Amino acid sequence: MSEPLKIVGLGGSLAKVSSSRAVLAIALEGAEEAGAEIELLDLRELGLPMYNPDDDELTAATARLVETMHGADGHLWSSPLYQGSVSGSFKNALDWLHVLGGWEPPHLTDKVIGLISAAGGTQGLQAINTMEFSVRAVRAWAVPFVVPVPTAARLFDDGGRLQNEAFERQLKMLGSEVVRVAERFRVEESPDHEAECEKARERVAAAA
C-alpha cells in the first residue's frame, strides 16, 4: 500500500475566533476522512513576520510554513474576505513562498489546491479568484470546485462553529476532492520528477 497523501491547510485570520479557520478545519476533516494525513497551518498561531526581500532568512515560523507546504501533496487555502480580497496576513504567507523558487522541485510545482473563503457579505468569490492567481504563480493546480462561505455572522455561532449542514458537506467534499485529484497526480507522476521539471523549465524558457 502507498503512503497516505499529506494535505496541509493554510489560513484563518489573526482573530481568536475565526470563521475562515473554522471552515478550513472542516475541509481538512474531509481530507482526513478520504484517507489523507493532515496538518493545519494556522496563521494566528504561526505569527509570521512580514516578508521582506532584503531580509528573507527563514525563522522557525517561516521555515515551518515553507517546508510544510513544499512537502505536502496538496493544500487547502482559506482566507477571510478583507476589503474585497484576501487578508493581508494570508497574502503575506503566500509572499513567503517566494523563497521556494530555488528549491527542488521549484515553487509548489504540481501541488493540488482547494480554495475557501469566509465573508461578511456575499462576495467571497473575489478572495477565491485572487487566490487562484497565486495558485498559478506558484505552479500549482486549483481544483475547479471552490467554497466561498457567505454571511459568516449568520452561519456561525458565538464560538465560531459553522451551523450549516450544506456548507459543512461542501467543505468536506472539497477536502476529499483535493485528495482524489492529488492521488491522480501521484499515480501519473513521472519516475524522474526532477527531469520532468527541468524539461518544463526549458519549454517555458524556449516559449518566452
Ligand X SMILES: Cc1cc2nc3c(=O)[nH]c(=O)nc-3n(C[C@H](O)[C@H](O)[C@H](O)COP(=O)(O)O)c2cc1C
Polymer length of the chain: 208
What is the radius of gyration, based on Cα positions, of the chain? 17
Residue 123 CB neighbour total at 10 angstroms:
14
C-beta of 71 vs 121, nearer to ligand X: 121
Q: Does 164 bind ligand X (CB under 6 A)?
A: no
Residue 183 CB neighbour total at 10 angstroms:
18
Q: Does 52 bind ligand X (CB under 6 A)?
A: no
Stretch that binds ligand X, among 100-108, 116-124, 167-175, 176-184 (CB under 6 A): 116-124
Find where cell 465573508 sits: 119
Tell me if 197 sits within 8 A of 109, measured CB to CB. yes
Tell me if 115 sits within 8 A of 170, measured CB to CB. no
Stretch that binds ligand X, among 2-10, 15-23, 59-67, 129-137 (CB under 6 A): 15-23
Residue 157, amino acid: D
Q: Does 119 bind ligand X (CB under 6 A)?
A: yes
Stretch that binds ligand X, among 10-18, 128-136, 164-172, 200-208 (CB under 6 A): 10-18
Instruction: Give min distance, CB of 82 to ligand X, in A.
Output: 4
Stretch that binds ligand X, among 14-22, 42-50, 140-148, 184-192 (CB under 6 A): 14-22
| DSSP 8-state secondary structure symbol assigned to residue 163 | -
Tell me if 51 sits within 8 A of 42, measured CB to CB. no
C-beta of 118 vs 131, nearer to ligand X: 118
DSSP three-state, residue 152: helix
Q: Which of the residues 72 through 111 are near ligand X (CB under 6 A)?
A: 80-84
Instruction: Give min distance, CB of 54 to ligand X, in A.
Output: 27
Interface ranges with ligand X (CB under 6 A): 12-13, 15, 18-21, 80-84, 118-121, 123, 152
